[in-house]
Amino acid sequence: VTEPAPAIEYRCTGDLPTEALLHLYRANGWSAAEKPTELTAALRHSHSVVTAWDGDLLVGLANAISDGHLVVYYPHLLVLPEYRGRGIGSRLLGLLQEPYAGVHQQVILSDRQAVGFYQKHGFVPAGSTQALWIYAGSDHD
């Protein structure tokens, strides 16, 4: 008899073990993994963080930076490669957006390959704006 797969558990806390974070960020090839101290602090100081867990394994994460009233930015959304396509990214985004339902402007700087994912969730190209940055990483090219 096959046991049913245990459910993914979702939590809202920014206080996260560095090793779990590094595993998730490295699996996605994101350069924030090269700055463990800053990454741990950045999530602790985010306006909101939502995480997805399979037992003790951190399988997904999303965070928000916001003034709490007018504008919210969603800097990070990532799911472990072997856990993608199971609705985890959608659930993380939905939970993250809940407190910002009435906010004037919700902004994402999306990787090109994820644009379709965000469009499925109601995001549209940002008018005639052009994304600009000063960036120390060489990922997200």
Q: ∠ CA(13), CA(111), CA(72), 5° rounding?
A: 45
* Polymer length in residues for the chain: 141
CA distances (Å), origin 58, targets 35, 49, 61, 124: 18, 13, 8, 29
Q: Residue 26 interacts with ligand COA (CB under 6 A)?
A: no
The conformational region for residue 85 under phi > 0 = left, psi -120 to 50 = alpha, else beta, is left
Identify residues 36-75 at the interface with ligand COA (CB under 6 A). none
- Of positions 77, 96, 97, 100, contacts ligand COA by CB under 6 A: 77
Size of the site for ligand COA (CB under 6 A): 18
As a whole number of angstroms, the distance between CA 45 and CA 21 comes to 15
Residue in 18, 19, 68, 80 with CA at minimum distance from that of residue 43: 18
Quick one: which of 114, 135, 137, 139 contacts ligand COA (CB under 6 A)?
Answer: 114
Q: Which is nearer to ligand COA, 69 or 82 (CB)?
A: 82
Applying CB under 6 A, does 86 fall inside the site for ligand COA?
Answer: yes
Part of the chain binding ligand COA (CB under 6 A), chosen from 6-14, 35-43, 64-72, 112-120: 112-120
Residues in contact with ligand COA by CB under 6 A are 28, 77-79, 84-90, 110-111, 113-114, 116-117, 120
